[in-house]
A = this chain, B = another copy of it.
Amino acid sequence: MDPMTTVGIVQLMNDTFQTKQDNVVVEYPLSIIVNKEKYVTLVASPIYLDELAIGYIYSEGLIKSKQDISLIKIDNGIVEFELNIDIKTLPKNKDRIITSGCGKSIIYTDLDGSDLEKNKLETKIPREYIFNMVNILYQRSELFRETGGVHNALLMAFDGGLSIFREDIGRHNAIDKIIGYMVLNEISPEKTALVTSGRVSAEILVKVARRGIPLLVSRSAPTDLAVKLADELGITLIGFVRGKKFNIYSYAERIT
């Protein structure tokens, strides 16, 4: 399905109204069913939906690898998973499943990151690499240029051997698509970096940390909680990459 469609608009330009056609981004509801139980509905751009669903359940802590998935079926806005694990036995998600639709502890669980190990990366990364990633992100942002309605995410390996770009109306979704790609293709995260067009909240930070990615770069702002979690989880967090300037919020010693 096309992530973009055309609508008729009236445009004010040079003090004159004119009717024309314009591109807008498509908002698509995707329901996720896990072991025959409805888990959640996401609203997303309708591309790479398999990656989105897999990345989402990975970020939620339901799976650790693609081997935990015995079946995935995608049809008409519904993704059905059969997992090799009983999700009710995962202590972390017990409440959430029981109260699906009621919302107990949804956010707290995601913000916590207390089950994660600290990232111990010792590789040094040159500053030019940061600017290069952000440039590539923007060069590839076609849907954004057409609609202004999406966020982007890019995964790059330090050695240049990998460059995965995804777009979505939700900044969380764009990152979950990258994570879904990594899970599906069993990409090792040790020497990779993720760059996002969006702001970095605690949830985004934990998503990236959970997948083991040591370097998170944003053109935009982080929150206080994201900075605190980056400190605790060993993630180098960089924000406000603009022109020849950026801010490093944690583990600055990795950037040379």
Contacts and interface: CB of A to CB of B under 8 A. Distances in A.
A229 to B, nearest CB: 10
Nearest to A243: B13
Contact of A41 (B108, B223, B245): B108
Contact of A42 (B9, B26, B107, B169): B107
A224 B22 CA distance: 11
A127 B12 contact: yes
A61 interface: no
A124 interface: no
A127 B13 CA distance: 11
Number of copies: 2
Interface residues of A, number: 73
Contact of A25 (B11, B15, B224): B224
B104 A148 contact: no
Interface centre among A14, A27, A111, A171 (most CB of B within 10 A): A27
A10 to B, nearest CB: 4
Contacts of A247: 9-12, 22
Interface of A: 5, 7, 9-15, 17, 22, 24-27, 29, 37-44, 94-108, 110-111, 127, 147-149, 168-173, 198-199, 201-203, 220-227, 240, 244-249, 252, 255
